[in-house]
Amino acid sequence: MATVTIEVRKQRRGVVQFPLGPDSAGVRLTGGQFDAADFVAGWRYELINGVLVVSPIPAEEERSPNDYLGSLLWRYRDLHPRGSAMNGTLFEHTVITKRNRRRADRVIWAGLGRSPKRKETPTIIAEFVSPGKRNRERDYEDKRDEFLEIHVSEYWVIDRFERTMTVFTKQGGRIRKRVIKETAVYTTPLLPGFELPLAQLLALCDIWKDTEAEQAD
């Protein structure tokens, strides 16, 4: 396994080599050091304002609808007459913004006419909201601003708590938002003919919530 040399300033000045893992949270890195690093599997890694942030993988309530969204996208690509508009999609993908390295729940490349290149800015980014006020602020504000700044065409915030999906775009320097209700089916000109039934995504969140309640009884 390759290693990356980083400066550690937590306790004392010095240089150390090691794969980055959960114990590395708080280490200061440059963007280049983060991009070249090896990481211990099973955790999410982000670089926020020059500091390594390590968090657990998303809960089942987020992973399950994310998987379903991925299956809808690939089905659209393979079966719809205009499905070639979808050039690729990945889950748990690191997005390079102007200041940070953000971990996105799902990214989509569309309208390229070719396969996406490594580190290429996605056309669409989808985020599934995690519980907690700080997480909501991060998903609705911090990530929104950073993703739109690098010309992501649409940013989707799928909120199982509010039972909505908010679509953020930027036009003429102004951020615009559209709130999709639970009963609606979302469509976008970026993926002509693709339909996203929000109720089905949210139903997958509820399955895991109900399972937790049953186990607690």
CATH number for the domain spanning 101: value is 3.90.1570.10
pLDDT of 3 reads 39
Mark whether 81 and 136 lie in a shared domain.
yes
Distance from the first to the final alpha carbon of the chain: 45
Q: Are residues 118 and 166 in the same domain?
A: yes
Provide the pLDDT for residue 7. 47
Model confidence at 6: pLDDT above 60: no
Looking at the fold, whether 37 and 129 belong to one and the same domain comes out as no
Q: How far apart are CA 114 and CA 98, in angstroms?
A: 25
Same domain, 90 and 196: yes
* The pLDDT value given to residue 1: 33
Is residue 141 domain-shared with residue 212, that is, in the same domain?
Answer: yes
Counting the structural domains of the chain, the total is: 2
Closest listed residue to residue 94, CA positions, set 53, 45, 54: 45
Residue 126 scores a pLDDT above 50: yes
The pLDDT score that the predictor gives to residue 162 is 96
User: What does the chain look like in DSSP terms, one character per residue?
Assistant: ----EEE--SSS--EEE--B-GGGTT-B--HHHHHH--B-TTEEEEEETTEEEEEEPPPHHHHHHHHHHHHHHHHHHHHSTTGGGEEEEEEEEEEE-SS-EEEEEEEEEES-SSPPPTTPPPSEEEEEPPSSHHHHHIIIIIHHHHHHHTT-SEEEEEETTTTEEEEEEEETTEEEEEEEETT-EE--TTSTT--EEHHHHHHHHHHHHHHHHHHH-
pLDDT at 208: 80
Instruction: Give the range of the structural domain holding residue 13, as residue numbers without chain letter.
Output: 5-56
For 99-124, what is each residue's pLDDT tens digit? 999 999 999 999 999 999 999 999 99
Predicted local confidence at residue 138, as pLDDT = 94
d(CA 44, CA 62): 14
CA distance 60 to 51: 27
The per-residue pLDDT for range 83-95, each reduced to its tens digit, is 999 999 999 999 9
Same domain, 154 and 90: yes
Predicted confidence (pLDDT) per residue in 9-53, tens digit: 443 444 445 689 999 999 999 999 999 999 999 999 999 999 999
Residues 83 and 121 in one domain: yes
How far apart are the C-alpha atoms of 171 and 166, rounded to whole Å? Answer: 16
> How far apart are the C-alpha atoms of 136 and 204, rounded to whole Å?
20
Regarding whether 65 and 141 lie in a shared domain, the answer is yes
Q: pLDDT tier at 210 (50, 70, 90 boundaries)?
A: low
Q: Judge if 17 and 92 occupy the same domain.
A: no
Dig out the tokens for 194 from the structure.
Answer: 């693709």
Provide the pLDDT for residue 216: 41
Residue type, 68: Y
Predicted confidence (pLDDT) at residue 71 exceeds the cutoff of 70: yes
Q: What pLDDT sits at residue 5?
A: 42
Residues 12 and 85 in one domain: no
pLDDT tens digits for 133-175? 999 999 999 999 999 999 999 999 999 999 999 999 999 889 9
Counting residues of the chain whose pLDDT is more than 70, the rounded percentage is: 88
Q: Are residues 171 and 71 in the same domain?
A: yes
- Specify whether 67 is located in the same domain as 44: no
**Token pair in block for residue 17:** 């080599």
